Amino acid sequence: MITLAGKKALVTGIANNRSIAWSIAQQLHAAGAELAVTYLPDEKGRFEGKVRELTEPLSPTIFAPLDVRNDDQINGLFDTIAEKWGSLDILIHCLAFANREDLSSAFTDIKREGYSLAMDVSAFSMIALCQKAAPLMAAGSSIVTLTYIGSVRVMEGYGVMGAAKAALEANTRYLASELGLKEIRVNAVSAGPIRTLAASAVNIHEAIHKTEEASALKRSVTQMEVANATLFLCSDLSTAITGQILYVDCGFSIMGG
């Protein structure tokens, strides 16, 4: 049984009970980790209320707003972590966004603004968080992000997000190389398609059906299976694993065609 007793984990990207980040938070909590969770602030406070109610059973020590386009919010989050905890053992990066039209339009029609937005939120945000997290992390700490096979294969309807995820995976390798000097591990989990809020921007139902037909196990992956893989990467069972993209997709990535 994996135990994270005494560990402090920051989980970003929880939007609702279908978020992969939510399943990850549940598994980290069940393993004994103390949690900090974030929500995306909006004028009406919709996400704050939903995420607060959802995560209440996990008793997060820190509950903070985080729009990764806002440096003040990033700084404020880590100032709070430093003040309340003094250290951080686990960082979970589950953040991605692109304008709907940039996902569905021809790739050659993507505008500079849309491309930059997708890269900023989906890829640079990992660097921005690691810049603040790394000074709080000791040897043995772990950073995990989420990616998708659209980074290396053309997937219909994924558009600009494929480019953003490719950048995110490159970030994972370069951060792993640099932070490895402090014995901090950095990895990515490449999950198969799951019905999440973020996935609603693409034709997720068709993607899931195609994946089930083409995967080695002939089914789609579940949120909890992705969370279990993430838990493994945060544990002492994976101390020699860094800079890797771990596919959790029922074998879809190994199949031809």
Which candidate in 39, 115, 158, 247 is catalytic?
Answer: 158
Question: Residues 6 or more apart from 34 whose CB is under 8 A from it?
Answer: 6, 7, 8, 9, 61, 85
Q: Which helix (H) or strand (E) holds 145?
A: strand 142-147
The answer to whether residue 247 is catalytic is: no
Tokens of 87: 């250290």
Phi/psi-derived region of residue 221, left when phi > 0, alpha when psi is between -120 and 50, beta in every other case: beta
Is residue 148 annotated as part of the catalytic site, yes or no?
yes
Q: Determine which one of 115, 148, 174, 247 is catalytic.
A: 148
Closest by Cα among 37, 234, 35 to 140: 234
Tell me the C-alpha distance between 208 and 227, whole Å. 18
Q: Answer whether 244's CB lies under 8 Å from 181's CB.
A: no
- Active centre residues (catalytic): 148, 158
